[in-house]
Chains A and B, each alone.
Chain A
Amino acid sequence: DTAVSQTPKYLVTQMGNDKSIKCEQNLGHDTMYWYKQDSKKFLKIMFSYNNKELIINETVPNRFSPKSPDKAHLNLHINSLELGDSAVYFCASSQGLVNQPQHFGDGTRLSIL
């Protein structure tokens, strides 16, 4: 009964490849997010979606393309992976965009060789 689940937990791939990370939440929330956490633990928002519509795109390269097929899912596709993309990516969800706690998944550790 995991609230926010991401797959895979680990992703090791070569530079230049294309990969996807999936996220699902069963909390009934209408807003979902993708965050990137670097090696220094700094957590930064990448995207937010509200009712399947893109709300925030924090100057993320267009190699990153989020897709929300429905309110419970927000997947992240990354093209032409680069070394600097190595990080832990977290999915989160909340009920509404403002003044509500966000609930996080356990992350996907992406390592680029």
Chain B
Amino acid sequence: GESVGLHLPTLSVQEGDNSIINCAYSNSASDYFIWYKQESGKGPQFIIDIRSNMDKRQGQRVTVLLNKTVKHLSLQIAATQPGDSAVYFCAENGNEKLTFGTGTRLTIIP
């Protein structure tokens, strides 16, 4: 999962399996959270968002879970495909700005 550290955390998943990427956020006052996907040479691309009055939100093949008690966010990707290979960032919205996590690199094993 994402954390403050020197190395980009890596998650390797077999193609077709589900992926779960975790994120711990810091600001208990944050009320809006976003997951981004960043492919090589591209900017972060919006995947899904969730507001603090929800604990789960589903999109196409993706689900975001929010646990405000422990300040934890996760992104689940169903039936992971080669095109899902990227760096995934969580971001929290507090104080009128987005604070990004350090990112997790998702690698798909064929």
Decide: A104 near B51, CB < 8 A? Known: A40-B8, A55-B96, A99-B31: no
Decide: A41 near B32, CB < 8 A? Known: A48-B96, A105-B43, A107-B43: no
Decide: A97 near B96, CB < 8 A? Known: A41-B103, A103-B46: yes
What chain A residues lie within 8 Å of B6 (beta carbons)? Answer: 40
A19–B42 alpha-carbon span in the complex (Å): 22
- B7-49: contact bitstring with A at CB < 8 Å (1 yes, 0 no)? 0100000000000000000000001101010100111111001
What chain B residues lie within 8 Å of A113 (beta carbons)? Answer: none
- Contact present for B45 and A104 (CB under 8 Å): yes
What chain B residues lie within 8 Å of A105 (beta carbons)? Answer: 43
Q: Which residues in window 89-111 of A have CB below 8 A to B?
A: 90, 92, 97-99, 101-107
- Contact present for B43 and A98 (CB under 8 Å): no
Contact pick for A98, options B41, B45, B93, CB 8 Å: B93
B97 contacts the other chain (CB 8 A): yes
B98 contacts the other chain (CB 8 A): yes
- Contact present for B96 and A98 (CB under 8 Å): yes
- Contact present for A99 and B43 (CB under 8 Å): no
Q: Which residues in window 1-27 of A have CB below 8 A to B?
A: 4
Contact pick for A43, options B41, B44, B46, B93, CB 8 Å: B44
Contacts A45-B98, A106-B43 aside, 20 further interface pairs with beta carbons under 8 A come to A40-B8, A40-B102, A41-B38, A41-B87, A41-B103, A42-B100, A45-B97, A45-B99, A56-B96, A90-B43, A90-B44, A92-B43, A97-B96, A98-B96, A99-B31, A99-B32, A101-B34, A102-B34, A104-B44, A107-B42
